[in-house]
């Protein structure tokens, strides 16, 4: 497979600028209503898009270091433009007027570090070792857990269709792609089930219960 992200300045600038662009797009979509069929603003409020995009970064990276740094720069660029664009647009458009949310900016910048660490670790799935089956299962199980939660939300409210389609397609695409790469397919499938349960009950179960009340 062709690696597109390298351990050099040009590649890091590229992924940082992509993060800037993504942050601008999600900032603008954030002003769309959640209470519609497509619920466009859900892109930045839920984890699916960030799981998918960071998994792609790891897949396209050429080393652990590259994966970690690229993930951090992508998330930091997104955070910077997400909160910065609101201030810039607020100078010209009243609906965007608001102060720079420094505390949130710092919080999400700090959260970019665990993303980088996760990307660094996940890159080890390229080694032909037993544990690569477990590592490959993690993003698939995580996406699957959100897909199930959003499917319940969609069934009840007829909203979040875009998020449901994106999460579902991401789960299937990564699931099939990684199934072809793992060292042990039985361990991979079992690990998907375990990671699904872990992520679902940690991240979504309580929220789903509130929807069902």
> Which pLDDT tens digit goes with each residue over 90-140?
787 776 666 778 898 999 999 999 999 999 999 999 999 999 999 999 999
Taking the complete model, does pTM exceed 0.95, yes or no?
Answer: no
CB 81 within 8 A of CB 23: yes
Q: Give the tens place of pLDDT for each residue, 26-81.
A: 989 988 888 899 999 888 889 999 999 999 999 999 999 999 999 999 999 999 99
Name the phi and psi angles at 42, rounded to 5: -65, -15
Confidence (pLDDT) at 95: 66
Residue indicated by tokens 């007027």: 97
> Residue 198 to residues 66, 121, 139, 148: CA-CA distances in angstroms?
28, 19, 12, 13
Residues 6+ apart with CB under 8 A from 8: none
**Which stretches of the chain are DSSP H helices?**
9-29, 42-45, 48-60, 64-90, 102-122, 132-157, 161-179, 185-199, 205-212
Per-residue three-class SS string for 150-200: HHHHHHHHCCCHHHHHHHHHHHHHHHHHHHCCCCCHHHHHHHHHHHHHHHH
Please tell me whether residue 61 adopts helix, strand or coil conformation.
strand
Does an H or E element contain 41, and which?
Answer: none
Q: What are the structural domain ranges in the chain? A: 1-124, 127-213
CA distance 94 to 152: 36
Q: Give the tens place of pLDDT for each residue, 166-209.
A: 999 999 999 999 999 999 999 999 999 999 999 999 999 999 99
């Amino acid at each position: 497979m062709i690696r597109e992200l390298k351990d050099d300045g040009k590649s890091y600038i590229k992924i940082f600028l992509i993060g800037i662009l993504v942050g601008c797009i999600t900032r603008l979509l954030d002003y769309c209503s959640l209470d519609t069929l497509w619920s466009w603003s859900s892109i930045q409020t839920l984890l699916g898009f960030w799981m998918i995009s960071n998994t792609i970064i790891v897949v396209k990276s050429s080393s652990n270091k590259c994966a970690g740094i690229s993930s951090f720069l992508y998330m930091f660029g997104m955070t910077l433009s997400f909160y910065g664009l609101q201030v810039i647009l607020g100078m010209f458009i009243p609906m965007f007027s608001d102060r720079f949310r420094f505390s949130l900016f710092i919080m999400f910048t700090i959260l970019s570090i665990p993303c980088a660490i996760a990307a660094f670790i996940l890159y080890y799935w390229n080694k032909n070792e037993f544990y690569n089956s477990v590592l490959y299962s993690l993003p698939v199980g995580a996406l699957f857990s959100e897909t199930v939660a959003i499917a319940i939300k969609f069934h009840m409210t007829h909203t979040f269709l875009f998020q449901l389609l994106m999460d579902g397609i991401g789960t299937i695409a990564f699931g099939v792609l990684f199934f072809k790469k793992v060292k042990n397919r039985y361990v991979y499938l079992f690990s998907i089930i375990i990671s699904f349960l872990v992520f679902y009950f940690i991240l979504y179960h309580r929220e789903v219960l509130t929807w069902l009340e």
